[in-house]
Structure 1
Amino acid sequence: PQWGGFYFTGEYAFNLGVGFASDPHNFGRAWFPCFDNFTDRAIYYTNVTVDSSYKAYANGYLTETIDNGDQTTTFKWTMDEPIPTYLASVAIAKYEEVVMNVNDIPVILTSLAKDTANLRSSFENLPACIERFEQVYGAHSFDRIGFNCVPFNSGAMEHATNIAYPLYAIANGSKTSETLYAHELAHHWWGNTITCRTQEDMWLNEGWASYSERIFLEAVYGRARYNEDIEENHRAVLQFAHVQDGAILPVSGIGHANTYGRHVYNKGADMVHTLRGMMGDTAFFAACAGFQQEFKFQDVSTEDMLRFFDEYTPYSLSGFFNQWIKEAGFAHFDILWVLEQEGFYNVRIKQTPRFNEVKYQNVAVALTAFSASWERYDAQVMIMNNEQTFKVACPFEPVYWAFDFEDKISDAVTTDWASLSGSGEVEMPQSLMRKITYDAGNADSILLRIEHHWAPADGTFGVPTGAVISRQRYWTVDGIWGDDTELSSELIYSGLTTPSPEYGYLDNELIRITEDSLVLLYRATASMPWQVAPDYIKNTGSLFDKRGSIAISKLKKGQYALAMYDANLASGGSISTTKAEFRAYPNPADDVLTIEFADKHDCCVVEITNVQGQVVLSEKLKGKSSTKKLNIAKLAAGTYFVGVVTDNLAYDIKRVVVE
């Protein structure tokens, strides 16, 4: 359904105060006359008359229930705290209540009687959520907390004290959607107590509420769960936010069409994590609570937040707000080299941003050194320049240096690390390497860290003649292990533009037509020239489906990158080619798949590959024809890719499902 407005659905009547497609987005005007903006606040007295079998809930607290003597009941609600129009609400149904009291805050959850058991189960961790939010954001501002279950399948709405919450989120009493109620509750601070002044600063509402989901996970399930969710979101933002929103956008300064897009919600949360990492927990949470109190029941801007949070740190946050928040793209940092000199270690850091050419400044981050015996030393530094050398007095001889080892800032890197002993296989999904096997040799344990850099591979120090190196990504493999340790891994390459996290928008600028000339490059350090990597096997499947895998039999410390030897097939210039256009139907298909060409073709090949990139059917078409029927009865049910290979046309590809 259309997002926003007033709904009459079966036994329910309710409103959603934001209209995603409306202009302005504020949608109080859907059910009462008002000035619909983020700055106009008012208190509310809401009287609702319903059939006596129904109950009505609105903002604030219930002041009176009147039996009208005609089989109708009037519910009178009072909202003493001023709120913008879009936060006013009403929900009507044959509701039953689940009542709590948390920190002297009345909590009313409502659903139909048949759903109350599921409601209790799904909201089991709500008290912990409330307590944590009060700890880090300050005292709750409103008379109560309320959630009303409604039959809406596209999300929830944070009406002050009277949240509209989807029935699907409590199905079977599951807790799989509990971050949704954490998000909506967080709006009682970020959005309802303080509200963005304009739609361009919606990240102050939605980015902070999205980040608060992770605060909830940290409180209930621990820091490891927080880190996992932060890293998953960071990966999704780097890989897909610009695709899903249709442009590379900043967090603040968003246009109307993307007010509720991925950059606002997901990248907004990513940047709040970075702000916490730069400031440190004590200063960050003190600033959060102080900001809520200082601007209570007021509209705010990014500039207001900059000025206020700046008072809680010994260094300027202008670089963070003006560059990380107001500029499109991502910061990116890498260690070029480390040199020992007169008892100190000089660590050289270089910036190569993703999607911009900004020089990021006032970046507070840690450089971490490890000894062979795993002693650790953290040096706090402040990055100000595109290249910068830091003089570190490490108290031991380091064997491994890491930039931002704890991933406290969300630059254009996703990482995984593990402490490993014995032998086996380890999953490191955010490194975008898979099938990682290890044999620690004689060591009790080893430290393996793999960084996936979503940024251009730096070719300053040289690349093989004729090779075009990836502008999208590269890897750093490092850690603590000896010569008798054996490691291997596999990486996926893909030129596909698909929403699949495994294949989508990874190498689409590098692999335009075929991966035939694709090579893997290696260098031991970031200050050495790239060379063709040893000890790898490229598994292409079809040469023209633009995806496959590379198996590295002897994974070494250093950096890896993809490159093309045929510059016409890689990035660096615009390529205009005609494709062999065709249709594949029916889809889904059963025993027979029909290929229909836009033009008649002679002597081309139809290939079908599975999701692993393996060719499962290849058939040569002879004689000029515009249609061809393929027998696919022997193919197992699943997803496949169909393409056409010709001598003088590029490869087109279609996704089909076989039943």
Structure 2
Amino acid sequence: MANYQEHAFTHSGLLADIPVTLLAKPADLTAMISRFGNLGDAIDACEYWYGPYPYDRVGYVLTTDGALEIPTNVAYPQFMTTQTTGNNRGLYTHELGHHWWGDKVTPYVHNDMWLKEGPAEYSGHLIEEWIGGQAGLLQAVKDNHFRVLREAHLDDGGFQPLSPMPDEHIYGTHTYYKGASVMHNLRGYLGDELFRQGMRGVQIALAEQTMTPQQFRDSLESATGVDLDAFFDAWVFAPGYSVFVVRERTVNAVNDSFEVVLNIDQKLRGTTVYHEAVPLEVSFLNAEGEEFLADIVASGANALHTVMVPFEPALVVLNRHNRLNQARTANERTLIPGVSFGSTQPFVDMIMYQTNLVDTTLVRIEHIWSGAGVDPATPDVIDVSDTHYWDIGGLWPEGTILRGRFTYAGATADNLDNALVDGDETGMLMVHRETPLDPWAPYPDQTVLAGDLANGNGIVNLDVMRKGQYAFAKSSVNVGMAEVRTDLATVDLFPVPAMDHVNVQLDGGLNGTVRFDVLNAAGQLQMRTFRSANAEGRYRLDVADLAPGAYLLHTAIGEGTAVVARPFTVTR
């Protein structure tokens, strides 16, 4: 028999005193105790949401391999004593959650493993809320769902329904992590009080029994009085994700209030099933940032919703407080002049920099994991990403100037931009539209760093970001046009050789967009920059990402039917 040492104490739970034991080899016990500092909070959180702890003791024992939710004596992996307190908190709370979901109530068949793994994993989110409030919960929920959107379909052979899960994927990313995302959505559909009432009700009604998803649904309905057929049809029995977005809004003053009519689209990812009877929270913000919340119920591909708002809204946001996990990830932050901020924006796959902040600025960036559609578009846009796009907005004082950096990835079939790139990056750029009713058009202030046109990967820098929607696209604009002329305009470059930038001086008074293509000695496109024409005719091009060497700058003026070519070199 192994030499194990015990650390025992009594936790004063929400309902009764609960004995607790931690068992480990003497050399590991101190580290184990230090990692389990929030175990009491985990017990309290689970009892609050699920009901009384169902066994006579909470116990964990360090083992050499794996974790298993054995009632009163959870097998806990020894290597976790070398991991962070936060990682341990998530795992031991997950295993504790299994005492309700998996031990007291258990799935009828293994293909419904999510019935125990989803609630157990969500227990790891609930402990973060218990100790860190709403901010702690949202961080856990958003971290988890970001992983699900990125990885679940890749890990598990495609977009899978939670029930029934194919045998080969029952212990996969969908079961655990999408299962947790769906539990958060169940809470969002029901609201906190009914979610708690429902989860506790299931524990009473199905105690010491197996259950099917249908029995879980029916028991929740009995406990809450809420029809959950639409929820289970969309989130459990169908694959993929849904997201609702505002297509258009109209505002009319009515006495002292404002009637806001929202035209809302539903977009899909990995499914053909439109979600029905979805409770959506809508945030209306005025120019000062005051928020008014309203609840609507959304269904189908498109619908109109009318809301009376006490002020004229400057910004409308769906699901701002993340009540639901959808095919959207978002990051919202308040920028303050003179206060630095991290340039990498979490959850939205982009980098943002400030050029000029004149006052406190609310910036909201949404990454929509579904295509926005190619129509309408200007004639030079031949294809638009059908997998994702961005919606960037907020409350920006006049004079705000922000820059953005986006990376497209299309090297392999697993990448979001693979179908758009299709083995050739020629014509890749960023398109923009102010609203979904406007046509997609090449963004006028961008630089495309394609590098090798066949490797599938590149960077797009937006030198001056505007509010609106952005998507990767392909344009019909050609590279290295046959007609190279010198009589169209004066083109001067300086300094040459260049180090990190080169200035281009053109004739003033040009209209529209000027395009600058940088080709290497082999004639391959290395960088493409679009600029809105200005009266001075001077443009600064950032060449810091170009390797030292000889290049040719093609400047397309007006409609771009001809170009002016000038050589230059980069040295460092």
Aligned with residue 208 of structure 1, among 119, 131, 134:
119
Aligned with residue 68 of structure 2, among 150, 153, 157:
157
- Identify the residue that residue 382 of structure 2 maps to in structure 1: 467
- Identify the residue that residue 3 of structure 2 maps to in structure 1: 94
Contact kept? 1:541, 1:614, Cα under 8 Å: no
Contact kept? 2:446, 2:460, Cα under 8 Å: yes
Greater Cα shift, 338-347 or 463-472: 463-472
- Identify the residue that residue 576 of structure 1 maps to in structure 2: none
Q: How far 1:465 moved relative to its partner?
A: 4.3
Q: 1:380 to 1:313 in 2, by over 3 A?
A: farther
Secondary structure, aligned partner of 2:347: helix
Q: What are the Cα deviations for residues 499-518 of structure 1, in whole angstroms up to 9, with x where unaligned?
A: xxxxx622122112122210
- Identify the residue that residue 284 of structure 2 maps to in structure 1: 369
Secondary structure, aligned partner of 1:177: helix
Stretches (4+) displaced over 3 A: 172-176, 311-315, 423-427, 460-466, 613-618
Q: How far 1:616 moved relative to its partner?
A: 7.0
- Identify the residue that residue 190 of structure 2 maps to in structure 1: 279
Q: 1:405 to 1:173 in 2, by over 3 A?
A: closer
- Whether 1:525 and 2:425 are equivalent positions in the alignment is no
Q: What are the Cα deviations for residues 326-367 of structure 1, in whole angstroms up to 9, with x where unaligned?
A: 101111211001002453110011011012221210100111
Q: What are the Cα deviations for residues 2-24 of structure 1, in whole angstroms up to 9, with x where unaligned?
A: xxxxxxxxxxxxxxxxxxxxxxx
Alignment partners' CA distance in 2, 1:517 and 1:565: 5
Aligned with residue 117 of structure 1, among 30, 33, 36:
30
Q: What are the Cα deviations for residues 214-269 of structure 1, in whole angstroms up to 9, with x where unaligned?
A: 11111123321221221121111111111111121011210111111111111111
- Identify the residue that residue 9 of structure 1 maps to in structure 2: none
Secondary structure, aligned partner of 2:53: coil
Q: What are the Cα deviations for residues 368-409 of structure 1, in whole angstroms up to 9, with x where unaligned?
A: 100011111111000122101101100101100001111111
For 1:431, the aligned partner's letter is V
Q: How far 1:464 moved relative to its partner?
A: 3.6
Q: 1:384 to 1:176 in 2, by over 3 A?
A: closer
- Whether 1:406 and 2:316 are equivalent positions in the alignment is no
- Identify the residue that residue 641 of structure 1 maps to in structure 2: none
Contact kept? 2:201, 2:223, Cα under 8 Å: no
- Identify the residue that residue 394 of structure 1 maps to in structure 2: 309
Q: 1:496 to 1:234 in 2, by over 3 A?
A: farther
Contact kept? 1:239, 1:506, Cα under 8 Å: no
- Identify the residue that residue 153 of structure 2 maps to in structure 1: 242
- Identify the residue that residue 254 of structure 1 maps to in structure 2: 165
Q: How far 1:420 moved relative to its partner?
A: 1.5
RMSD across aligned positions (CA): 2.7
Secondary structure, aligned partner of 2:111: helix
- Whether 1:544 and 2:451 are equivalent positions in the alignment is no
Secondary structure, aligned partner of 2:217: helix
Q: How far 1:566 moved relative to its partner?
A: 6.2
Secondary structure, aligned partner of 2:416: coil
Alignment partners' CA distance in 1, 2:332 and 2:145: 16
Greater Cα shift, 507-516 or 211-220: 507-516
Q: How far 1:439 moved relative to its partner?
A: 3.2
Alignment partners' CA distance in 2, 1:221 and 1:129: 12
Q: What are the Cα deviations for residues 94-124 of structure 1, in whole angstroms up to 9, with x where unaligned?
A: 1110112123221111100111111110111
Contact kept? 2:331, 2:347, Cα under 8 Å: yes
- Identify the residue that residue 6 of structure 1 maps to in structure 2: none
Alignment partners' CA distance in 2, 1:127 and 1:438: 48
Q: How far 1:282 moved relative to its partner?
A: 1.0
Q: What are the Cα deviations for residues 178-235 of structure 1, in whole angstroms up to 9, with x where unaligned?
A: 2111111110011111101111211110011111111111112332122122112111
Contact kept? 2:381, 2:441, Cα under 8 Å: no
Alignment partners' CA distance in 2, 1:172 and 1:320: 37
User: Which runs of no fewer than 5 residues in structure 1 stay unpaired?
Assistant: 1-53, 55-92, 499-503, 568-603, 606-612, 619-659
For 1:185, the aligned partner's letter is L
Greater Cα shift, 557-566 or 470-479: 557-566
For 1:561, the aligned partner's letter is A
Q: How far 1:173 moved relative to its partner?
A: 7.9
Q: 1:523 to 1:312 in 2, by over 3 A?
A: farther
Aligned with residue 136 of structure 2, among 211, 225, 235:
225
Q: What are the Cα deviations for residues 511-568 of structure 1, in whole angstroms up to 9, with x where unaligned?
A: 121222102110001122111111111112322221121111111110001112369x
Aligned with residue 199 of structure 1, among 95, 110, 117:
110
Q: How far 1:303 moved relative to its partner?
A: 1.0
Secondary structure, aligned partner of 1:471: coil
Alignment partners' CA distance in 2, 1:203 and 1:117: 34
Secondary structure, aligned partner of 1:369: strand
- Identify the residue that residue 435 of structure 1 maps to in structure 2: 352
- Identify the residue that residue 4 of structure 1 maps to in structure 2: none
- Identify the residue that residue 477 of structure 1 maps to in structure 2: 392
- Identify the residue that residue 292 of structure 1 maps to in structure 2: 203
Aligned with residue 330 of structure 1, among 241, 264, 267:
241
- Whether 1:263 and 2:174 are equivalent positions in the alignment is yes
Aligned residues: 481
Secondary structure, aligned partner of 1:529: coil
Q: 1:530 to 1:109 in 2, by over 3 A?
A: same
Q: Calculate the TM-score normalised by the size of structure 2.
A: 0.80
For 1:223, the aligned partner's letter is Q
Secondary structure, aligned partner of 1:509: helix
Secondary structure, aligned partner of 2:96: helix
Q: What are the Cα deviations for residues 251-300 of structure 1, in whole angstroms up to 9, with x where unaligned?
A: 12101111111111111111111111121111111111111111111111
Secondary structure, aligned partner of 1:237: helix
Contact kept? 1:118, 1:174, Cα under 8 Å: no
Secondary structure, aligned partner of 1:349: strand
Contact kept? 1:369, 1:376, Cα under 8 Å: yes
Q: 1:616 to 1:196 in 2, by over 3 A?
A: farther
Identity, % of aligned pairs? 30
Contact kept? 2:118, 2:180, Cα under 8 Å: yes
Q: What are the Cα deviations for residues 128-159 of structure 1, in whole angstroms up to 9, with x where unaligned?
A: 1111111111001112111110111xx41111
Contact kept? 1:447, 1:479, Cα under 8 Å: yes
Secondary structure, aligned partner of 2:429: strand
Alignment partners' CA distance in 2, 1:112 and 1:539: 56
Secondary structure, aligned partner of 1:220: helix
For 1:231, the aligned partner's letter is K
- Whether 1:133 and 2:42 are equivalent positions in the alignment is no
User: Which runs of no fewer than 5 residues in structure 2 stay unpaired?
Assistant: 478-521, 524-543, 550-572
Q: How far 1:457 moved relative to its partner?
A: 1.7
Contact kept? 2:188, 2:324, Cα under 8 Å: yes
- Whether 1:557 and 2:446 are equivalent positions in the alignment is no
Contact kept? 1:123, 1:175, Cα under 8 Å: no
- Identify the residue that residue 380 of structure 1 maps to in structure 2: 295
Q: 1:241 to 1:348 in 2, by over 3 A?
A: same
Q: How far 1:461 moved relative to its partner?
A: 3.2
For 1:420, the aligned partner's letter is L
Alignment partners' CA distance in 2, 1:345 and 1:273: 29
For 2:336, the aligned partner's letter is S
Q: 1:172 to 1:447 in 2, by over 3 A?
A: closer
- Identify the residue that residue 642 of structure 1 maps to in structure 2: none
Secondary structure, aligned partner of 1:321: helix
Alignment partners' CA distance in 1, 2:388 and 2:326: 13
Alignment partners' CA distance in 2, 1:463 and 1:299: 58
Q: 1:175 to 1:116 in 2, by over 3 A?
A: farther
Alignment partners' CA distance in 1, 2:67 and 2:353: 40
Q: How far 1:466 moved relative to its partner?
A: 5.0
Q: Calculate the TM-score normalised by the size of structure 1.
A: 0.69
